[in-house]
């Protein structure tokens, strides 16, 4: 099985960006951790980060044509705004786990809304970087049962 991990805007700034909220782990470090966690979970993976909404829509569509089995996605700010990303997930019907480093339910009101949640099989938030490991684990279990 093969999964795609997508990180949305400003997640390339991890380690620099609001470390009190998002932690000290850099984006480069995270990319390495994701590879380790996928290896541990026995699943192949690709990684994609973009600051551009349309590039994320394109990547989700490509994943469909590549036969990707599942997606772990932190849509970042697009979580709260992007009907286009929601529609891409619905169009491809690829099982998706939504992950947020912070707990978006306890921050500003505008972060409580998630369009992506309408297509997600599962949501993980507020568990920091470790949440990605949980998301990978949940998705692999789900795919192995399906």
Active-site residue set = 22, 100
Q: Are 4 and 49 in contact (CB under 8 A)?
A: no
d(CA 138, CA 144): 10
Among 4, 30, 71, 104, binds ligand DQA (CB under 6 A): 104
Our finding on whether 74 is near ligand DQA (CB under 6 A) is yes
Our finding on whether 123 is near ligand DQA (CB under 6 A) is no
The CB-side HSE value for 82 (13 A sphere, CA atoms) comes to 25
Task: Return all residues near 112 (Cβ < 8 A) that are at least 6 apart.
Answer: 104, 105
Nearer to ligand DQA among residue 13 and residue 64 (C-beta) = 13
Nearer to ligand DQA among residue 69 and residue 138 (C-beta) = 138
Q: Is 122 annotated as a binding residue?
A: no
> Strands 96-100 and 122-125: what pairing?
parallel
Our finding on whether 81 is near ligand DQA (CB under 6 A) is no
Q: Is 101 annotated as a binding residue?
A: yes
Stretch that binds ligand DQA, among 48-56, 86-94, 95-103, 137-145 (CB under 6 A): 95-103
Cα dihedral: 98, 133, 100, 13 (round 10): -120
> Which residues are annotated as part of the binding site for substrate?
74, 80, 87, 101-102, 111
Q: Which residues bind ligand DQA (CB under 6 A)?
A: 10, 74, 76-77, 79, 100-102, 104, 111
């Amino acid at each position: 099985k093969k999964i795609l991990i997508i990180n949305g805007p400003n997640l390339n700034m991890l380690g620099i960006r609001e470390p009190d909220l998002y932690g000290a782990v850099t984006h480069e470090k995270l990319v390495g951790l994701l590879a380790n966690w996928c290896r541990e979970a026995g699943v192949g993976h690709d990684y994609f980060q973009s600051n551009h909404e349309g590039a994320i829509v394109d990547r989700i569509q490509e994943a469909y044509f590549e036969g990707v089995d599942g997606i772990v996605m932190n849509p970042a700010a697009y979580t709260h705004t992007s009907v286009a990303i929601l529609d891409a997930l619905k169009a491809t019907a690829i099982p998706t786990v939504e992950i947020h480093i912070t707990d978006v339910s306890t921050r500003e009101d505008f972060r409580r809304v998630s369009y992506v949640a309408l297509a997600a099989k599962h949501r993980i938030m507020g568990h920091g970087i470790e949440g990605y490991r949980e998301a990978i684990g949940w998705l692999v279990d789900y795919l192995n049962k399906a």
